[in-house]
Amino acid sequence: MARPREFDIDEALEQAMQVFWAKGYEATSLDDLCEATGLGRSSLYGAFGDKQSIYVRALERYEEAAVRRIAASISTAKTVKEGIARFVQRIVDEIAAGPGRRGCFLGNCAAELVRGDRAAAARVRRSLERIEATFRDALMSAQAQGELPRSADIDALARFITAGIQGLRLVGKANPDRKGLEDVAKVMLRCLETA
């Protein structure tokens, strides 16, 4: 009979994700993952598989959290435009305060691994597509409610907002100046006014 797990698998995955996010895939060692999760190598492998499998699961975890944050920001606002603006402002606030300066985990992964790791690259692509779809669904709702004109290209807007957020986070890693970030956010969000 197999021994039951004596650890919280979600918490261990969260800790592994934080290490990958801080150090990147290549610089993260198995010892780093063991230390962060509090697991020995055999428990780590038993729960998640090899390093790449842990990494892909961490990407999936980040995607789920990102989609929840976007949806929550939009669903608690009076309008979709306000919800998207609130979400973008929160990114600016996080960058200016410090925690957001490490960038977007998906963006960091894309920059590090797209050419060398097909599984991770495919996971990043699917995650970005899902985030884009979350914005697309919200924008379709805004269009149906008259917030956006019928002529608005919802697919292009969703792609632009997704790419704009990635760019904002990338710029924030190099230059966390609030005024500059707010300027970028303001111009980016103008697409919703001129759609």
State pLDDT tens for residues 145-174.
Answer: 999 999 999 999 999 999 999 999 999 999
At 4, the pLDDT band (50, 70, 90 cuts) reads: very low
Three-class SS state of 39: coil
State pLDDT tens for residues 76-89.
Answer: 999 999 999 999 99
CA 177 to CA 112: how far, in whole Å?
A: 25
**To the nearest whole percent, how much of the chain has pLDDT over 90?**
83
CA 131 to CA 67: how far, in whole Å?
A: 6
Domain ranges of the chain: 59-193
State pLDDT tens for residues 17-34.
Answer: 999 999 999 999 999 999
Q: Are 79 and 159 in contact (CB under 8 A)?
A: no
When the candidates are 1.10.3720.10, 3.30.200.20, 1.10.357.10, 3.90.1300.10, the CATH number that belongs to 59-193 is 1.10.357.10
Output the pLDDT for position 112.
87
**To the nearest whole percent, how much of the chain has pLDDT over 70?**
96
CA 185 to CA 17: how far, in whole Å?
A: 27
State pLDDT tens for residues 108-123.
Answer: 998 887 567 888 888 9
Residue 143 has pLDDT above 80, yes or no: yes
Residue 61 has pLDDT above 60, yes or no: yes
Three-class SS state of 17: helix
* Helix or strand run (H / E) with residue 45: helix 41-48
